Chain A
């Protein structure tokens, strides 16, 4: 009975293909913003901490507070909470553009902590090597801290990427488009079992592939 409502298999790719493209575009765009903003934010959080290169209590506490704020709310709540800002920025509260802002906020906050953790793992003595050799703080951050943290950053990036794919599905609720949206709209609302199954397979395959690739990259980068 329910099977009659399902999209016939031959037609599944014509729905899934564009949805996949939308997911890639949405997550790709968000991840670009996440790295561009989350990385410097994480470096700032760590380096203003007592363990960092330029300890600064007030700055550390405020940046850390902002980062925590972005991670405090469940994504669905965050999405609803930023609607007024989304409206102001993009003139709409639904669709692809509307999903960008909440995803970027959650992702940047997440990646700032991932960055902080990754650079904290770099032994303090290696920063001393730079300082004792007369390097500038900027040279130490880029040439020692980031350089040594690359495997940790790549591992964290993979986790973040997978989380953003998950968020993109939640953003399906405001019509973001993408595989998650397809699963919600066809699979959940219309009981379209074929689409649901196809979406699940695609999402699992993407996440497995990304994690596999991420792990391989970390291994290759670790010396």
Chain B
């Protein structure tokens, strides 16, 4: 478990992190997302204690690590394993030697180092590449070795600092799957810092949005994705580009919880209205631990907007965007531009 409270970091008069409060529970995956320049890298460097916060605390296992120095600081750093962007493996060491490095520096006896390295490489599925140098490994393989190294000293918290940036979607998926397995098998608490929303959706239990050094919005992923008025939620569930609405139709963008809404709602609402719904764009998927949907539908403009809204709401759908009342509805038969 890691509890960050009131974390502030400033360089001179420039405030980069402004009172960050963030807690990731035991065996949970927390994600911090945000655009470039939001303070993500500073947050990562402060959490893994490479930078000393200006104020605030970072509590792991009941101990505040933020104010330690010297040998205590080094011991505290071992409590937080870091997986770096592009792995940062030493080029002149093999995969096994890279994983062994923190163990050797910590003074672990050589026979135990061997056993531990073997187990770690096995866990991340890289045993067959133990004697390979980083230049002989693919990006995803390097990152697996980086994860094994981050876990070498048995940290309570694993910090993943843009660990999947620059990897292709398939490799990203295999890395996030590995992180989930580690959470479940080892009970390790993971803090993921990323700018990739799709990573968060499939991975995190808890998500926070960082912007201009502050956490603007946060919450459990399965709740956040159900918020209809949240920017974070929209970013987490980006709707694909919609096809043009049929002539004379009005569009609604809706959101719904797949746990409470019937999977046949399109047909059901159409029946209720006596007019068929057209689906223009849709995203329905598993997020957090249940399903969630976002969808843009079009309804014939001759059907009263109020009854459409009532029919949708009665089926559990939450309107996110309604048709503009002022906007003229194209007459039936008019060509679609």
Contacts and interface: CB of A to CB of B under 8 A. Distances in A.
Interface stretch (A128-136, A176-184, A210-218): A128-136
B93 interface: yes
A189 interface: no
Interface string A113-130: 000000000010110111
Q: Chain B interface: which size bin?
A: 20 to 34
Q: Binding site of B, secondary structure by majority: helix, strand, loop or mixed?
A: mixed
A148 B48 contact: no
A135 B74 contact: yes
Contacts of B134: 223
Interface residues of A, number: 21
A135 B104 CA distance: 9
B190 to A, nearest CB: 15
A146 to B, nearest CB: 10
B216 to A, nearest CB: 27
B153 A134 contact: yes
Q: Binding site of A, secondary structure by majority: helix, strand, loop or mixed?
A: helix
B111 interface: no
Contacts of B93: 147
A143 B50 contact: no
A134 B106 contact: yes
A144 interface: yes
Contacts of A129: 82, 84, 88, 90, 101, 149
A136 B70 CA distance: 9
A147 B92 contact: yes
B142 interface: no
Interface of A: 123, 125-126, 128-136, 139, 143-144, 147-148, 150-151, 221, 223
30 contacts: A123-B88, A125-B84, A125-B88, A126-B88, A128-B50, A128-B84, A129-B82, A129-B88, A129-B90, A129-B149, A132-B49, A132-B50, A133-B81, A133-B105, A133-B149, A134-B74, A134-B77, A134-B102, A135-B102, A136-B74, A143-B104, A143-B105, A147-B92, A148-B90, A148-B91, A148-B92, A221-B92, A223-B91, A223-B92, A223-B135
